[in-house]
Every structure is written in C-alpha cells, then in structure tokens.
Structure 1
Amino acid sequence: MDAQHTACGGGRRGSRRIIATLVVASLTTTGCQGMADTRQGPMTADGRRIDNTVADWPLKFVQHSFGARCYSTHGCTVDYNGHRHVDHPDDVLRPSTDEIHPDALKNASASYLGVMNFPEPATVAWRSRDGVQHEARVDIGEIFRDRLILHHVPREDIPERVSILNPAIILEVNDRTINVYMRAFIPTKSLRTPGNRHSNYRDELVLAWTRTY
C-alpha cells in the first residue's frame, strides 16, 4: 500500500513532476515549433514563406514605408493610410527640383514606416504651376499588385541569407505629373565605389508609375 502511494501519489509531488515533464515535452514538440514559425516571414498566396532572401526570389514585400514630395505646385496635399503627409499653403508656389537641388528627389526618403499592404488609394489635391486645380486618387495597391520589390541588382550579386528590409514607396507631385517610385536597400557582394567597403549596397529610386494631368 505504501509502495502504491509512493508510485501513484508519492504523493502530489510525483504528480507535479509528471505534469511538468509532459508540459516540457509538449513545448519541445509543438510549442517551440510554433514560436519558430512566428519569427519567420509571412506567407505568399501559394503557401510559401517570405523571408526576403535570394532563396525567396523574386523579392516581395508585405510592408512598406511611404513618403511624398511636391514640386512646382500650389496648395499640395497628400493623404495616405489615414494620415496627411503633405499640406502646403495654397498661396505659395513650391520650387522645382532644379531650384532646390538637382538631386532633391534622388535623396528623398520615406519616414512613414510599417504600412501593411495595402491601404486605400492615396488622395492628392494641388494646383499646377499654371494655377489649374487637380485632384487624383493613386492606387498604390494596384501599382504594386504583384508585391515585387523593384530594384536593378542581379540575383547573383545579393549575398545569401541576408534579409531585405521593407522598401520605401515615394509619391512625387511635379507640376502636372504624379510619379510613384520605389526605393529598396539591397545589400550587394560588389562595391558601388571601388575601395569603399561601405558601398556594398544599392538603393536607387525605380519609377513604378507615372501620369500627367
């Protein structure tokens, strides 16, 4: 009777040990796998994970940053994802890119981070340099409907096992034209500037869409 009490109850300490062992085993076989899954990238439509390495070629994105710029405009406003990104006064003509700096747009960044694909279209209102009023809805989701990261880097020049960060989408209003660009930071095996070890990346603007009004 005492032996049975020791083995089956032992009493309550033995039960607690058995329960603890089962919990550890469960975490080892299922829970840890579940936690590992959450650290991986999201799934594509066909069930593949997106980790944004060359193994996932072509590179795709599920989040993006956003920025907007207006040049040669009056009263330009840009709204996207429930946020006003540009709100210029109507009585001031914004300078052109050449008047600001030849590389003004080239160096433009997107400071609005972590936008999930995809909100409602961006809404843009402005007057062009000649004073004519314009309004437009720019469907970012339609422009990037294939979710591809736009870049000019060959697959063989991207290091293996390096994850690519979320790209930036930049909307430019320039007089009567709206341009939508993507900028992605792509690590490279080669150097853009020979001898400069900090130049092992590409991040140029790639034009994705344009329309003149």
Structure 2
Amino acid sequence: MTDKYKRDPDGQRQDGVSGYPIKAAGMEVFQGDACMSFPRIRGAIYIAIAALLCLLSGGCHTTVQNLASSGEVDRHRPNRFPLTFSAHNFSAYCFSAWGCKVIYDDMYVVRRPDNVLTGPLKGPDHVQQLDAVYTSGDNFPPPVVVTWRSRDGVPHKDSIDLDQIFRDRRIVHDVDEKKISEIAVIANPEILLIVDDRTLSIYMKAFIPLKEPGNPANRYSGMSQNSVLVYTKTY
C-alpha cells in the first residue's frame, strides 16, 4: 500500500495521526485511513445501526426484532450468559511517564520520545472517556511489551499476556445479567492498557445493550458502556 502522507523522521504523520500500521480485516492499513473489507464494513454497519436504534428507542428488544430481516441479524444467535468474546479492539495510553512505548501485535501503538513526560491522568472519569482505536483480529496476539520511566525517572519494562488475563474469554462488565438484552447484537469489547506513573492497569470496555433504559427519565440510556478494571500492577 502506498503511503500518501508526509511523515516526520519518527514515522508520525505530520497531520497529527499516528503513522504506525494497524491490522484490520486481514490487511495492513494506517490509522486514520479508511480501509476495511466490504463484508466487515457491512457487518459493522448492521451492528452500528442496531446500537444506534437501541439508544434512540431506549431499549434493544424491539430494535433487533425490527432488524431481523437483515442477513447479519438473522444469523445472530441469542446471547448466552456469561457473555464471551472471540475478538477485541485495543489501545494503550500513558500518563505521568517518560519515553513510554507500547508494542502490541508486533507494532508500536505508543512511541513517546525518551525526553517527553506525558500529562497526568485526571481520575476515573478520564478513564471512562478513553476508547480503543486499534482493530484486532481473533484473540490474542503475542504479549504486549511496555517500557517507560516513571515520573521519578526509574525505568520499567514488562510483558503483559492478555491471553492469560482473559483466559476464560468472558466479557467483563458491571451490568446485572437480568437487565441485558438476550437478542441484541453485542460488539467486540475494547481492551485498554493504561500506564500511570508506576502503575499499569488493564480495563475492558464493553457496549452492553439493555432490555430497558438504564435511566427511566432518559430514553437514550439503552446501552451501558463502562470501563471495568481487570488487572493492575504497581512497580
């Protein structure tokens, strides 16, 4: 694939978007480029429509029944509990760290200069605002390699085995299973790796469709999307 963007010596696109390749639908693309196979685009569109209508309708049972004429939804089986996943999306974030670098699936997803200290994490609400931007294939690539220096300059390095952390393949969420729609499509969950000074944490963020609005006063609350802490280690 021809790289049509100007890049600096570190490989970063000069328009501010990362220039490191990511894998999507069996092909190598650059983050920010619109490349994906048509079957996956079609499937993603159906899922997005289902999720959007869930939010607009305030619940997911009626939405999926109305979409049942589409081939993608026809092939969807009722959800089984506990919920499990076979693919995921991923991102890594570094806060209060010098020269943070994260290698995921043999690619740099974070590559900060050694002389740069990243800004601080602004609390739990900040974590909830973070999303995964790298589309992965089936679970799981090799362990994630993370190197950085904490705020005090002490170097750290670790290898994080997501395959082991999520060995039961369960979607980690904080929703009562009785409130989850049995028939709505559940998208691949997001896995977030966060370095914060001397602490490394793994969160899972899943988009869980609800039978009824989570907030009766808000008809658009038919989906739960909280990040839940799965793993943490302090160095």
- TM superposition shift of 1:139: 0.4
Tell whether 2:196 aligns with 1:174: yes
Task: Output aligned runs, 1:27-176, within 5 Å.
Answer: 51=77, 53-54=78-79, 56-98=80-122, 103-176=125-198
Structure with greater proportional helix content = 1
Report the AA paired with residue 195 of structure 1. Answer: A
- TM superposition shift of 1:193: 3.0
Secondary structure, counterpart of 1:105 in structure 2: helix
Report the AA paired with residue 131 of structure 1. Answer: G
- TM superposition shift of 1:92: 1.6
Secondary structure, counterpart of 2:88 in structure 1: strand
Partner Cα distance (1:127, 1:174) in 2: 10
Report the AA paired with residue 89 of structure 1. Answer: P
Secondary structure, counterpart of 2:128 in structure 1: coil
Partner Cα distance (1:114, 1:145) in 2: 17
Note the alpha carbon deviations across 1:92-134, whole angstroms, 9 max, x for none.
Answer: 2111112xx7632211000111331111100000000000011
- TM superposition shift of 1:176: 0.7
**What root-mean-square deviation, in Å, do the aligned CA atoms of Structure 1 and Structure 2 show?**
1.8
- TM superposition shift of 1:40: 5.2
Note the alpha carbon deviations across 1:169-201, whole angstroms, 9 max, x for none.
Answer: 000001011000100000112323332211111
Percent identical residues:
43
Note the alpha carbon deviations across 1:27-63, whole angstroms, 9 max, x for none.
Answer: xxxxxxxxx9xx857xxxxxxxxx5x43x21110000
CA contact (8 A) 1:192 1:201 kept: yes
Report the AA paired with residue 57 of structure 1. Answer: F
Greater radius of gyration (CA) = 1
CA contact (8 A) 1:66 1:115 kept: no
Partner Cα distance (1:140, 1:207) in 2: 14
Secondary structure, counterpart of 2:127 in structure 1: coil
Report the AA paired with residue 181 of structure 2. Answer: P
Choose from 208, 214, 222 the match for 1:200: 222
Report the AA paired with residue 152 of structure 1. Answer: D
Choose from 208, 217, 227 the match for 1:186: 208
Unaligned segments of structure 2, at least 5 residues: 1-70
Partner Cα distance (1:142, 1:111) in 2: 22
Unaligned segments of structure 1, at least 5 residues: 1-35, 42-50
Give the structure, 1 or 2, with the largest relative contact order (CA under 8 Å, sep 6 or more): 2
In the alignment of these two chains, the number of paired residues is 163
Q: Which moved more, 1:71-80 or 1:101-110?
A: 101-110
TM-score, length of structure 2 as denominator length: 0.65
